[in-house]
Copies of this chain bind each other. A is one copy, B any other.
Amino acid sequence: MAKSDTIPNAVIGRLSLYLRQLEALLAASRGTVSSKELGAMLGQSDAQVRKDLAYFGQFGQAGVGYGVEDLVQSIRRILGTDRTWNVLLVGAGNLGRALVSYRGFLRKGFSLNAVVDADPNKVGELIDSARGIRVQAMEEMGAAVREHHITLAILAVPVSATQEVADQVVAAGIKGVLNFAPTALQLPDSVPLTAVDLSVSLEQLSFQLSSDA
């Protein structure tokens, strides 16, 4: 497989969107789909679809299109979600709670296994009754990571605490970090970091409204 540093992030983002659309087609029992159809569903060209997929190999057949189920499996394999990543959530505030209950967040491929918070008043609370997960203290992080073989951490903590918490999750053996706090983090090069900046979405919207006016 191509190494991640040669693939633009935007391509990976579009693979996720293709996967959503293909999963919907699979649920509707569609057998094949063309790059043109798939592109049209997402408002982009068939050439872009083919170019994005070409980073990862040869998919589909000329004149027939892609086998929906095959392509779902291939993209999951590319994205690494054909296996299950165990996830630690740090922060049981409003954002953490929203993530726990957000149906679309922990899809196939991700499993929430532990939640920790620095607030003693939250420790012990049953935050995810479906999975039977109680909030644990920060000091229990290392043990939870080892016990549940957790590789990913989601940081939903205040900006002022983010770097300290990032250092703690790395020390606890976490291999990758998803940061929701609107601040830059310093992590070892060996630990991939993805940041979610929600204001980017609002700016996309204001751009569309401004330039269409």
A211 close to B1 (CB less than 8 A): yes
Is residue A198 within 8 Å, beta carbon to beta carbon, of the partner chain?
A: yes
- Across the interface, name the chain B residue whose C-beta is closest to A104: B182
- A 162-203 binary contact with B (CB < 8 Å = 1; else 0): 000000000000011110011100000000101011111111
Shortest CB distance A95–B (Å): 4
Knowing A80-B207, A104-B182, the reply to whether A212 touches B4 (Cβ < 8 A) is yes
Is residue A126 within 8 Å, beta carbon to beta carbon, of the partner chain?
A: no
- Across the interface, name the chain B residue whose C-beta is closest to A48: B8
- In the assembled complex, the Cα of A20 lies from the Cα of B152 at a distance in Å of 26
Contact of A79 among B78, B95, B207 (CB under 8 A): B207
- In the assembled complex, the Cα of A206 lies from the Cα of B12 at a distance in Å of 10
Stretch at the interface among A25-33, A57-65, A105-113, A136-144: A105-113
- Across the interface, name the chain B residue whose C-beta is closest to A177: B205
Which range contains the number of A residues in contact with the other chain?
35 or more
A198 close to B81 (CB less than 8 A): no
A200 close to B13 (CB less than 8 A): yes
Knowing A196-B198, A198-B196, A212-B192, the reply to whether A206 touches B98 (Cβ < 8 A) is no
20 contacts between A and B (CB under 8 A): A7-B211, A10-B10, A12-B207, A13-B204, A16-B197, A16-B203, A17-B197, A80-B210, A80-B211, A94-B95, A95-B102, A102-B198, A104-B183, A105-B202, A107-B199, A109-B202, A109-B206, A110-B206, A176-B206, A178-B201
A-side residues, CB < 8 A to B, are 1-4, 7, 9-10, 12-13, 15-17, 19-20, 78-81, 85, 87, 93-95, 97-99, 101-107, 109-110, 151-152, 154, 159, 175-178, 181-183, 192, 194, 196-212
